[in-house]
């Protein structure tokens, strides 16, 4: 019986080690290995990391919701680039995160992976907000050391206040390749606007599916007294409109946005992020608080509403990107 007991002990110990090992070993996906082996140009000594591959896939459903996933693969070049081994995803009333998965391809040895069970949730509220439903999900990827490649994939579902999406493909580090794919139901149309970048024509994949690709995007480095990063970074904003739908929550032109803002200004009262006047009723009873009497509160409400038109999805490898 002793050999059997010894064998059972060895098996049990092995199971416990696998269950509680802080770094599970599993192969990284093929798209990440392809990015890791692609040739790179020479970068100067100030480059902390390079974004090897970025892929954003957005699917618009007939009911006006969006779902999809984002993929990122970074090669860390300097110790200061370790921050790119952490993935952040914003969760709020408009967006939910389905799953988060991260990997590391080290210079030597086997790949590592981390999954949803390793995710930590933190508050995502802005400093001036008294109450917020925003959360940030954080996933730490192991072995984020110089020479290693780290990456992640995040799945999401969203019901945006405005039927728009934003593709942010320029970073504070060089970007080797970035892709954006859009899938819409039959009969839907889109309008794309490019900011701080020449227009790139999409490839028609078929079935009302489109794909944009950019390569070798330079980094934007911080300088003292520089303009806001959002005013310098290249990006594409895409608006969607379904067949026979009104443009109350879709902006294909500047006129559409102006009409929406006009109508909103004519009816808006100070309230919470959840809806016009709702928060004011809770605070003041039956009395409505007008924008003229409380301009600061209503300006903040308007700022949150208009922020939806600039792309509410945020997936990044540093909290600065949120």
298-318: per-residue pLDDT in tens?
Answer: 333 333 333 333 333 456 665
Domain covering 24-246: architecture: Sandwich (2.60)
Mean pLDDT within 290-297: 37
* DSSP string of 18-30, one letter each residue: HHH-SSEE-PPPH
Domain boundaries, the chain: 24-246
How far is residue 269's CA from residue 54's CA, in Å, rounded to a whole number? 41
pTM across the whole model: 0.73
pLDDT value, residue 11:
35
Helix axes 254-267 and 295-307, enclosed angle (nearest 10): 150
Rounded CA-CA distance 277/290 in Å is 9
pLDDT averaged over the chain?
Answer: 78
Average pLDDT over residues 269-292: 38
Query: Rounded to whole angstroms, how far apart are CA atoms 321 and 315?
Result: 8
pLDDT of residue 5 exceeding 60: no
Q: Which of 32, 144, 138 has the alpha carbon at shortest distance from 85? A: 144
What's the average model confidence in pLDDT over 169-187?
97
Query: Residue 131 pLDDT more than 90?
Result: no
pLDDT higher than threshold 80 for residue 44: yes
d(CA 154, CA 176) in angstroms, rounded, equals 20
pLDDT at 2 over 70: no
Helices (H), 21-149: 30-37
Contact 239, 250 (CB under 8 A): yes
Min mean pLDDT across 8-12, 27-31, 43-47, 67-71 is at 8-12
Q: Residue 123: which of 140, 137, 111, 109 has the closest Cα?
A: 137
More confident residue, 249 or 275: 249
Using one digit for the tens of pLDDT, what is the confidence trace for 73-112?
A: 999 999 999 999 999 999 988 899 999 999 999 999 999 9
Q: Which residue has the tokens 């006006």?
A: 64
Q: How far apart are CA 140 and CA 70, in angstroms?
A: 17
């Amino acid at each position: 019986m002793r050999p059997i007991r010894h064998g059972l002990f060895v098996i049990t110990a092995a199971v416990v080690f696998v269950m509680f090992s802080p770094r599970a070993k599993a192969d990284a996906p093929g798209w990440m290995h392809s990015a890791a082996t692609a040739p790179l140009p020479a970068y100067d000594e100030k480059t902390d990391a390079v974004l090897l591959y970025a892929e954003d896939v957005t699917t618009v459903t007939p009911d006006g919701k969006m779902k999809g996933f984002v993929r990122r693969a970074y090669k860390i070049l300097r110790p200061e680039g370790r921050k790119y081994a952490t993935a952040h995803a914003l969760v709020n009333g408009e967006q939910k995160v389905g799953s988060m998965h991260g990997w590391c391809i080290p210079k030597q040895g086997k790949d590592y992976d981390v999954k949803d069970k390793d995710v930590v949730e933190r508050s995502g509220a802005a400093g001036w907000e008294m109450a917020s439903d925003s959360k940030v999900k954080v996933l730490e990827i192991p072995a984020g050391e110089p020479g290693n490649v780290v990456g992640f994939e995040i799945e999401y579902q969203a019901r945006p206040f405005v039927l728009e999406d934003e593709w942010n493909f320029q970073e504070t580090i060089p970007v080797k390749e970035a892709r954006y794919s859009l899938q819409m139901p039959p009969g839907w149309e889109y309008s794309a606007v490019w900011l701080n970048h020449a227009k790139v024509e999409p490839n028609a994949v078929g079935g009302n599916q489109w794909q944009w690709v950019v390569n070798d995007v330079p980094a934007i480095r911080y300088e003292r007294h520089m303009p806001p990063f959002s005013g310098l970074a290249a990006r594409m904003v895409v608006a969607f409109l379904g067949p026979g739908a009104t443009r109350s929550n879709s902006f294909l032109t500047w006129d559409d946005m102006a009409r929406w803002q006009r109508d909103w200004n004519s009816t808006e009262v100070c309230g919470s992020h959840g809806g016009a006047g709702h928060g004011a009723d809770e605070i003041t009873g039956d009395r409505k608080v007008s924008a003229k009497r409380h301009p600061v509160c209503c300006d903040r409400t308007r700022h949150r509403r208009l922020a939806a038109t600039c792309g509410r999805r945020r997936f990044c490898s540093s909290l600065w990107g949120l």
